[in-house]
Structures are given as C-alpha cells and as structure tokens.
A and B are shown apart, each in its own frame.
Chain A
Amino acid sequence: MNTLSGKLGAGAKVHPIIPWLAGLVALLALPLVMRNNYHQYVVNIICINIILAVGLNIVKGFAGQVTVGHVALAAIGAYSSAMLSSWLGFPFWIALPSAMLITGAAGILIGIPAFRLEGAYLALATLGLAESVRIIISGTESLGGAMGFESIPPPRFFGTVLDSHPAYFYIVMPAAWLAVFFSFAILRSDIGRAFKAIREDQLAAAASGVNVRKYKLIAFILSALYAGCAGSLKAHLAPGFLNPNDYTLTEMVTLLLMVVFGGLGHIWGGIIGAIMVTIINDLTQDYYQYRMVIFGSIIVLTVMYMPRGIGGVLDDFFIRRRFKVLRDKRAEASRAGGSNAA
C-alpha cells in the first residue's frame, strides 16, 4: 500500500492529473472482474447515483442549501434527453450535453427561490417544484404519461450500439469519473470557497464581499448540470424506459440518504454513500417486507452515531493517523536529541 501510495504521490508531484488517470485506467478493467451482467448493471446504476450524489453535495454539502428538488432535475434531464433522441433523432452524444444545458436552465428556476428562502422554507419550495415536475410528466400523454416513455435509443459509437451493460459501463464510468474530478476542482476553486463561506454564514460571507445571490445560483446550476447528466445516462440505459413513478419523494429521500450516509460536504462521502446505499438497496431486495425498516434504521443510526457520515469517520481516522505520525516523529526526534546530549 505504501509503495502504491508512494508511486501515486510521486506521480501527483509530476502532474496532479496523473493519479486521476491511473484511477481511470484501473476502473476501465472493472468489467473484466464482474461475475455476471447483473453486477455490471448494479455498477452502472452506482455510477449514475454517484453523479447524482456528487451533484447534490455541491448545492447541499458545499453551499448549504436545503433542496429536495434534485430528483425533479434528474427527471428533466432524463426526459429532455429522451425527447431529443427519440423525437428529433439527436445522437446520444449531442442529447446528453443538450439535456444537461436544459437541466441547468431548470436549475435557475429552482435556484431563484433560494435568494429569499432558507432551511425548511427552501426545502418546501423545492419539494413543490419537484412534485410539479412529476405531476406534469404524469399528465402529459406525449411524454408517455403514467405509462412511461418507451424505446429511448441506446448510444452508438462508430456504428456500434452500446446497449449491453458492460458496454454502457464505458459511458457511465468516465462520466462519473469526470463528475468527481470537476467536483474536486470546484471545491478547490474560488467558487468552492465562496460556497463554503455561504454555508457557514451568509451574512459574514456577504460582508466579506461574496456575492451570495450569484454563488447560490451557481451552486444550483452546477448541481442541475450533474442531475441532467445522470438523468440522461439513466434514460439511455437499457431498456431505454422512463416513468414518473421513478422520480418520487422516496427516490429523493434515498438520494439524500446517500449524501448524509456518506457525509455532507465530503466528495468522497457522496461517492461512498452512493455505492453503499445502492448496494444495500440491492442486497435487501430479498427482504422486501423489512426494506423500509432497514433504510429507516440506517438513517437514524447514521444521524445518531455518525452525524458527519462515513466521510466524517474517515476524516477522523486520517487526522488521528496524521497526529500519530507527528507524535512518533517528535518522540523519535526527542529520543535522538536525548541520545545526542548523552
């Protein structure tokens, strides 16, 4: 492990992108170790959930805005992509960024109430918007209504149809990788620092010269772009079917669970949360009578014993480890000093 860490560390000194690229290359081999296509399907869903969770973390974890409208943005992205590719014949590679832009524009609509609302009030406003989106889709026959939007074409790459789960992995995984990469970039930029300032104290941030309105809106737009990307990827995943029933409050709570379980404000926390919750969701399918109890218990236990989520626990671990290394170094230095004096 130390050798690996050393090599990655050395690579990072040459160029910070090198460890990222190493991670990407390692992940490219994942389909080779999958035992069957179902596992590959679960991994694809995990990648989509990672994009959703990381996006939600930007607005909720970094900027501290309480939103419960994220699934509605994912629905907008999904249905936009489905319409563009099914009705207008857009290839997936154009439908995906177009859907992201449309969802980004929808993010402005969700972000505007955040200028004046906070906390529970903002949550209620975004909840209303989320439900409206679902209801509009349910009642729109041209979008498939309550029956669903069918036959969304899978992506093609130089004539090859990417409709199998292993092939689709090579679209969702790099997308998730890019999402995480940009999330780190955002967090470390001026924008990320402005987000954190707003999260900690809006008044203090404004007094320090942060344009609170502008950065809140940026947070919602960025978050919406992520949701649009995840939505589009979901729409084109085989069998290419969307239904408004998959964008309800239950899905929103599951998404929030990913972020809270992983750790609000931790990018790795969002990733861990997305992986863990998706896997728990899958493993508990056999115990359908108790699934909601299991999920409810996880939320309660996480809030009680890991209020900062798994990300917080890992933070504590690394901080303790860093202190231990420092303590050992000091002890060694004092021992060396003592022996020199002797």
Chain B
Amino acid sequence: MTPFVKHALRGLLPAALLAMTLAANPARADDGVIRIGITLRMLVENGLKYGQMAKDEIEAVNATGGINGHKVEVTLLDDECKPDKGIANVNRFIHQQKVHIVMGSTCSSVSIPMVDITAKEEVPQIVPQSSSATVTKKGSAWVFRTAVSERFYAAVHAKYLAENVGKKVAYLYTTDSAGIGFARDYMSYMRNTYKIEPVYETQMQETDLDFRSHLLKIKSLNPEVLAIGGQLDAIARITQQSYEVGIPARVRRVAASAASNAPVPELLGDYAKGLTFAAAFVCTDERPVAQGFVKMVQTKYGVRCPDHDFSQSYETAQLVKLALSRAKLTLTDASLKDDRTAIRDALAGIKDYNGLASGPISFCADPTPQCRDGNRTGILVEYTKGGKDYDMRVLARVGFEPDFGL
C-alpha cells in the first residue's frame, strides 16, 4: 500500500462514520402526528423552566386525546442565544423532523435569521419573546409574534417618563441586542417626539464589570432619567453602581425589559426600589387568569414570581394549540405543505385573544408588522421592594394602534 493510498483510506474512516450517523438518523415518516419544534435560550436563569413549560403545555393535550384526535409531538432545543445554533435547530425542525410549526426564539439575533428560513421553506413560525422590530418588518407571510415589539416598548416608558419625570436622559447600555435595541428606540422616540438629544450616551461591553467612570460623568451632568440597556446582569451592575457613585435616588432609573427577570431585584436588594421597566406581564397582575398562571408556575416549576419570559412562552403555547385546533389538517407526507399553510392561516385568523397579555392579541393575513405583531399592549412597572421577596407595581398600561412606530 503506497503512503498516499494509506492516507486516502484513512479519509474513508470519517466518511464511514458520517454515513453511519446519517443512516442512523432518518427523516420522520408519515405518522399522523402534529410535530412542533421549539427553540429557545434555555441555559439562562429560568430558561429551562419556561422552555419545559411551553413543551408541557402543548403536550398536555395528548392526555385528552390530542388536538382533533391527533397526537402532538414537541421537540425542544436550546439555541444558547447564538444565531448559528438557532439556524441549525430550525433547519433540523424543517428538513429532518418535518415539523408543522416552529416556535422561537428568545433572542432577536436568533429569531431574525430564523424568519428568513421559515419564509423560504414556508413553515409557520411564532416568536414568543424576541422584541426587535426587524422580526416582523421583514415582511414574511409565515411569521407571527406574541412578544411586544420594541417599537411599542420604547414608547411605553419614554412617554410616561417624559411627561411625569423629565426629558434629560443619560443612556448607558451594553452592546448586545437587548441593550442596543432599548437605547436606540428610546433615543429615537425622544428625538422624534420632543426633539431632545441625550444628555449622555455610551456603549459598554456586556461582559464589562465596572461602569463607574461613565456613571461619574453622568452624575456631573445631572440628568433626570438614567436609561440602562442590557441583559439582567448588566442592568443589576449599572443600577447598583449608579447609587455607589452618588447619583441621587430622584434620578429615575429605567431599564430594558430584562429588568423584569427575578435575579435583578434579588441581586439589587434595596437598590431595586424605583427601578422602572416596560414589560408584557407582571406577576402581581390581579386578574384571575394571571393569578391562576402564577400559581401553576409556582407549583409546577418552583418559581415564585414568573416574569414575562414565562408568560409569553405560556401564551404562545396556548396560541399554537388554538391555531392547531382550528386548522384543517390531513397530516400525511403529501399534505405537509397544505397543513403548514392551514396552520399559518389559522394563526392569522386569531382575533382578540385574551390571555396573560395586558391587552388582546390579534393577528391578520397581511405580512406586515401591523398584522403580525399581535400583542400591542405594554405595561410600565416599578419595583417597590427588592431582595428575595421583591415586589412591584404597575405605573401605566398602554395599548397602541397597529401602525404605531412604523
């Protein structure tokens, strides 16, 4: 055997391994089951719990005979908030598992490329948590969103704070999608509505630990509002350090929606008091449907105060079940395309769904943000107490017209 051939034969080993793997993992067959793929950011605070909750909620129908007699099978995957993983997951759902609908994702940077794939492959996608306006602005006929779009969120806190606190705003945010989206929309609202420029604006890395130098500059500029953008750990750090450098309590701290995550008030303790954020749901909501949900999450998943990541996962699962129950499905290999279209049309037909969201959720057929941003009600929330037994109150509840902010 020549050395070259020896090398070439070595190359056959990985090829054989690859062939074995592919052969051992065949595409799904025609089995009369409704298949749903869920991809979320799971390995983060309560991610595993709200991911599992969405799966449990949908699969619960199997105990009572399924949806219109069809069993439901859910595949739940983690995308780690990484677009590459989300793209791989959605490719797997569509091409290998031949799912009828995709639910995901948590991060906008993952949902955005997913929209391109589901649009090309003509698979309905419902977005539970991503708030970037781009998700529905792409004009895909196959995408729906349960989460409140950032075009509404920005106005919720910007309008309230401008009218009730002040218009001198200093922005300190991290360079992740949550931080940039929050600050950009807030600044844009203030410019467009009040013609007011930021008192101070700077970006930091999401992994940065010390924000004091910027906060000292902000202190010297004497703003009325400190806008804090980022994920929960950055929000907690910046808020705490803003007090440490001596920015007075009368300066209102307003943060991105990640401030609704439980670790923020728990980490901040007394510093949490007065921190304001816009969200889609608050666990102190007194409506029976909300309290029933809170009790269910406490009992089954051990979370005292579920945030809007939980509520939006739950709500999306309910909307998926509703659409599936209304869609006329044949569930054969040949009907896969028609079944997907029927589910999309059933989702588009959902009007005035009243669930955990602060207002009704409505979709329609046009592939526009007006039709596909179903939840158009945001609430402004303020922490009234920090620590493990944190508490909060709703400052404002604002509903918007479908074309607001476009």
B140 CB → nearest A CB, Å: 11
Q: Give complex CA distance A279, B113 in Å.
A: 22
- Asked if A33 meets B19 with Cβ closer than 8 Å, knowing A23-B11, A147-B180, A285-B89, the reply is yes
Give the chain A neighbours of B250 by CB distance below 8 A: none
Q: Give complex CA distance A189, B205 in Å.
A: 44
Of the listed stretches A56-64, A237-245, A297-305, name the one at the interface; the rest are far from the partner chain: A237-245
Pick from A23, A41, A148: contact of B83, CB under 8 Å: A148
Give the chain A neighbours of B132 by CB distance below 8 A: 147
Of the listed stretches B1-9, B337-345, B359-367, name the one at the interface; the rest are far from the partner chain: B1-9
Is there a chain A Cβ closer than 8 Å to B370's Cβ?
no
Docked-complex contact B21 and A283, CB < 8 angstroms? yes
A contact residues, total (Cβ < 8 Å): 57
Of the listed stretches B91-99, B190-198, B238-246, B322-330, name the one at the interface; the rest are far from the partner chain: B91-99
Docked-complex contact A288 and B77, CB < 8 angstroms? yes
Docked-complex contact B83 and A245, CB < 8 angstroms? yes
Docked-complex contact B91 and A37, CB < 8 angstroms? yes
Give the chain A neighbours of B77 by CB distance below 8 A: 285-286, 288
Docked-complex contact A147 and B112, CB < 8 angstroms? yes
Is there a chain A Cβ closer than 8 Å to B78's Cβ?
yes
- Asked if A8 meets B117 with Cβ closer than 8 Å, knowing A35-B26, A36-B95, A37-B95, the reply is no
Docked-complex contact A279 and B18, CB < 8 angstroms? yes
Pick from A33, A246, A275: contact of B82, CB under 8 Å: A246
Q: Give complex CA distance A247, B176 in Å.
A: 14
Docked-complex contact B81 and A268, CB < 8 angstroms? no
Interface of A is mostly: helix
Pick from B5, B25, B83, B180: contact of A19, CB under 8 Å: B5
Q: Give complex CA distance A318, B10 in Å.
A: 10
A162 CB → nearest B CB, Å: 14
Pick from A135, A289, A318: contact of B48, CB under 8 Å: A289
Docked-complex contact B8 and A8, CB < 8 angstroms? yes
Give the chain B neighbours of A163 by CB distance below 8 A: 120
Give the chain A neighbours of B134 by CB distance below 8 A: 147, 150
Docked-complex contact A239 and B1, CB < 8 angstroms? no
Docked-complex contact B18 and A46, CB < 8 angstroms? yes
Is there a chain B Cβ closer than 8 Å to A190's Cβ?
no
B84 CB → nearest A CB, Å: 4
Pick from B4, B95, B179: contact of A41, CB under 8 Å: B95
Give the chain A neighbours of B177 by CB distance below 8 A: 146-147
Enumerate chain B interface residues (CB-CB to A < 8 A). 1-2, 4-11, 13-14, 17-19, 21-23, 25-27, 42-43, 48, 75, 77-78, 81-84, 87-89, 91-92, 94-96, 108-109, 112-113, 116-117, 120, 132, 134, 175-177, 179-181, 203, 205
Closest 10 CB pairs of A and B: A288-B78, A239-B116, A38-B95, A241-B113, A38-B96, A37-B95, A275-B14, A36-B27, A243-B83, A138-B175
Enumerate chain A interface residues (CB-CB to B < 8 A). 1, 5, 8-9, 12-13, 16, 19, 23, 33-39, 41-43, 45-46, 135, 138-139, 145-148, 150-151, 163, 165, 184, 238-243, 245-246, 267-268, 271-272, 275-276, 279, 282-283, 285-286, 288-289, 291, 314, 318
Question: What would 24 A/B residue contacts be, using CB atoms closer than 8 Å?
Answer: A5-B5, A9-B4, A33-B22, A35-B26, A37-B94, A38-B91, A38-B92, A38-B96, A146-B176, A150-B113, A163-B120, A238-B116, A239-B87, A240-B116, A242-B83, A243-B109, A272-B10, A272-B13, A276-B14, A283-B25, A286-B75, A288-B42, A288-B77, A288-B78
